[in-house]
Amino acid sequence: MLNSNCIALIPLLPIISFLIIGLAGRRYFPKFSGILGTLSLLTAFILSAIVAFQYFFEVGKVDGVYQKIVAMKYVWLHLLPNVSIDMGILLDPISVMMIVIVTFISLMVHIYSIGYMHGEPRYATYYAFLSLFTFSMLGLVLSTNIFQIYIFWELVGVSSFLLIGFYYEKPSAVAASKKAFIVTRFADLGFLIGILVLSYYSETLDFQTLIARLTTEGPYLSSIAGASFIGASALTWGLVLVFAGGAGKSAMFPFHIWLPDAMEGPTPVSALIHAATMVVAGVYLVARLFPIFSHSCPQALDVVAYIGIFSSLLAAVIACTQTDIKRVLAYSTMSQIGFMMFALGVSGYGGEEGLGFMASMFHLFTHSIFKALLFLGAGAVIHYVHSNEMKDMGGLRKLMPITHITFLLACLAIAGIPPFAGFFSKEEILLACWNSNKIIFGAAVLTAGLTAFYMFRLYFSIFWSKEFKSHNNNHDDGHHGEAPATMLLPLIILAGLSVVAGFVPFSQLVTSDGAGFATEFHIGFALGPILIAVSAIILAWFMYSKESLVPQKVADSLKGFYTAAYRKFYFDEIYLFVTKKIVFNLIGRPAAWVDKNIFDGFMNLLASVTVALSEAIKSFQSGKTQEYAIYFFAGTLGFVLLFIYLWT
């Protein structure tokens, strides 16, 4: 039986290690902090694995349907007579899957960082922040309450801010962390208002009650669907606004601009937060509310689908032109999350109708493994080369054989080559699109092809191409390129999983309604995308496996479009223009000016008028008897004349 104390330990262990390392570890045992954090995460991972095993195979299933189990729930703030914010733990297939993913990837990153961050002066602080992030993320996925998820959502945001800005002495890192926080904050405003809208009509914040009330016909559903605002119902507004929050965290268009810059953080952080876990929070949020989207508001689901596919394609195009390897990976992350989003967007609810939902969760699962691997591999490369730029790399396959093999496996997985993990999940997504929306299907196949191309462009540029020439004399012997064991171990584990993760029977475990269904493998359908991926890889081999002028020629022939894609379609510039020019100059500056000159000016005017007035009349009180005498006689005379005038 599930032990709720055991489950509560999963998020509590990281926060305890955060407190210990943060308060004592930094001063008294900095070197040991990494081990401490890793051990606590290892325990959390083992507990998650046990919980997952028990949930999926022992207690979770009742009559063939996985149940939602509230393991614990406490009232945190009782805001209205029938609305309260609770803190609790909700177990269902997606949350159980997520705790396993989060603790596992986090554990890998913890182990990897022991080697990667070795010698960093703020080593203990780094582990404290990692623990804080893991706690927040676990709290997020286990939430029973939409406000609880918002609370942890913000905490995840701040942990991400702290980790992106970890090298706070670098202005670029500070700028990136600010950008990430502010952009996601803006999106979270939508989330908050969405919560207010949904909770106002449904009179609850609790997920299960909320879903029950908004999916069954009744007073709640009719009131929220009946209330309309600018042409859409309150339900549509609420869901779209909540999705806006999700789009912010998951770097969907138009909130995607923070993700590439977020790569300023240490590379293991990029692997954990900005590739495998935090950025899928938006997908998780939509999945959590999926019954409402699917059952009551297909329009909102369409928004999810089209934003997803657009972001996915946009990111894939940009990824083909970037030269910083972490940025290529960042755009590829955005593109893959787009896959998860539109898979949800085209999905129906229940049984095989819910293929898209299952595929989305499946892709989330496999993606987190191979994308973490790609980032950690990239980290090993950067660790060795001391540069993020492709032009400084090349020919590394001989120097870093293990990294090379693991990276290749990850590339094959993300490109969708069978039998690697990404193939299966992507195949299911494409099938779900084919069944419901042919336009999205076409764009998705194109994006999948681009994915294979830019990933192998990356792979060939790093490991093949020209011979590696080190700028650093320490590497001159040329045979000590491989990273330390603590870094290689996670790479090897993740590579192994990238090969086999596709065989997990997801359609039996994680589905939209909890009931399993059988998936069929259509070889004819799978063949097309495989051929496209293979030809894209061959194209990449042709262009990038040796140093040649071909890429430059291609870029020149596509001049305008290439430059636009290289400059990320000018989104940064547009946003900068809006904030700097419009918000600062047209709102901020006038507000400050008005305050200083109008309101304060009025007060000062009041003061100076008073002063002037008293200046004017103070001469009446001069203390000179002669003057008083004059005033006296003049006054008397005046009165006398006045009386005479009045009398006559």
Partner 1 sequence: MTNLTILIIVPLLTAIAVLFCRSSAQVKWTSFIGSIIQLGLASSLMYAYISERAMGNTAQMLFQQRYSWYSALNIEYYIGVDGISIAMIMLTAFVVSAGILISWSIQTQVKEFFFLLLLLSVGAYGFFISLDLFTMFFFLEVAVIPKYLLIGIWGSGKKEYSAMKLALMLMGGSVFVLIGLLATYFSTDLGNGIHTWDLMKISQIHIPLQTQLFIFPFLFVGFGVFTALFPFHTWVPDGHSSAPTAASMFLAGISMKLGGYGALRVAMYLMPEAAEQYSWIIVLLATIAIIYGSFATLMQKDLKYMNAYSSVSHCGFILLGIGMLTKTAIVGAVMQMVSHGVMTALFFGAIGMIYERTHTRQISELGGLLKTLPFIGTVYVITGLCSLGLPGLSGFVAEMTVFVGSWQRPDAFHRIATILAAASIVVTAVYILRAAGKSVMGPIVNEHFLHLKDASWNEKVASVLLIAAILAIGIAPFWLYNLIAPDAQIIMENIARAGLGR
Residues forming contacts to partner 1 in the complex (CB under 8 A) are: 75-80, 83, 147, 150-152, 154-155, 158, 165, 168-171, 174-175, 177-178, 181-182, 185-186, 189, 192-193, 196, 199-200, 584, 587-589, 591-592, 595, 599-600, 603, 607
- Beta carbon of residue 234, minimum distance to partner 1 (angstroms, whole number): 10
d(CA 391, CA 398): 17
Task: State which amino acid sits at residue 113.
Answer: S
Beta bridge partners of 515: 65
- Beta carbon of residue 171, minimum distance to partner 1 (angstroms, whole number): 6
Q: Which residue has the tokens 């286990």?
A: 142
Quick check: 486 and 114 in contact, CB under 8 A? yes
- Beta carbon of residue 247, minimum distance to partner 1 (angstroms, whole number): 15
The terminus-to-terminus CA distance of the chain in angstroms comes to: 113
Which of residues 27 and 469 has its CB atom nearest to partner 1 in the complex?
Answer: 27
d(CA 594, CA 591): 5
Which of residues 12 and 555 has its CB atom nearest to partner 1 in the complex?
Answer: 12
- Beta carbon of residue 586, minimum distance to partner 1 (angstroms, whole number): 10
Which of residues 159 and 336 has its CB atom nearest to partner 1 in the complex?
Answer: 159
Which of residues 179 and 371 has its CB atom nearest to partner 1 in the complex?
Answer: 179
How far lies 459's CA from each of 109, 325, 528, in Å? 22, 10, 23
How far lies 50's CA from each of 45, 100, 110, 297, in Å? 9, 10, 20, 37
Run of H or E including 89? strand 83-91
Which of residues 181 and 453 has its CB atom nearest to partner 1 in the complex?
Answer: 181
- Beta carbon of residue 328, minimum distance to partner 1 (angstroms, whole number): 27
Quick check: 282 and 225 in contact, CB under 8 A? no
- Beta carbon of residue 274, minimum distance to partner 1 (angstroms, whole number): 18
Q: Which residue has the tokens 């029973």?
A: 144
Asked whether the bond before 419 is cis by omega within 30 degrees of 0, the reply is yes
Which of residues 391 and 589 has its CB atom nearest to partner 1 in the complex?
Answer: 589
- Beta carbon of residue 521, minimum distance to partner 1 (angstroms, whole number): 45
- Beta carbon of residue 60, minimum distance to partner 1 (angstroms, whole number): 30
Which of residues 108 and 242 has its CB atom nearest to partner 1 in the complex?
Answer: 242
d(CA 451, CA 263): 20
Retrieve residue 232's tokens.
């859409």
Reduce the DSSP state of residue 204 to 3 states and report it: coil
d(CA 494, CA 112): 12
Longest dimension (CA), the chain: 124
Which of residues 151 and 225 has its CB atom nearest to partner 1 in the complex?
Answer: 151
Task: State which amino acid sits at residue 253.
Answer: F
Which of residues 186 and 570 has its CB atom nearest to partner 1 in the complex?
Answer: 186
d(CA 421, CA 500): 6
| Short-list 132, 130, 129, 152, CA closest to 142 | 152
Which of residues 84 and 545 has its CB atom nearest to partner 1 in the complex?
Answer: 84
Which of residues 86 and 428 has its CB atom nearest to partner 1 in the complex?
Answer: 86
- Beta carbon of residue 161, minimum distance to partner 1 (angstroms, whole number): 8
DSSP tag of 280: G
Which of residues 2 and 174 has its CB atom nearest to partner 1 in the complex?
Answer: 174
- Beta carbon of residue 572, minimum distance to partner 1 (angstroms, whole number): 16
Q: What is the full DSSP assignment across 624-642?
A: -HHHHHHHHHHHHHHHHHH
Q: Which residues of 381-405 are buried (b: 16+ CB within 10 A; e: fewer)?
A: bbbbbeebebebbbebbebbebbbb
- Beta carbon of residue 241, minimum distance to partner 1 (angstroms, whole number): 10
Q: What is the full DSSP assignment across 285-319?
A: HHHHTHHHHHHH-HHHHHHHHHHHHHHHHHHHHHH
- Beta carbon of residue 77, minimum distance to partner 1 (angstroms, whole number): 5
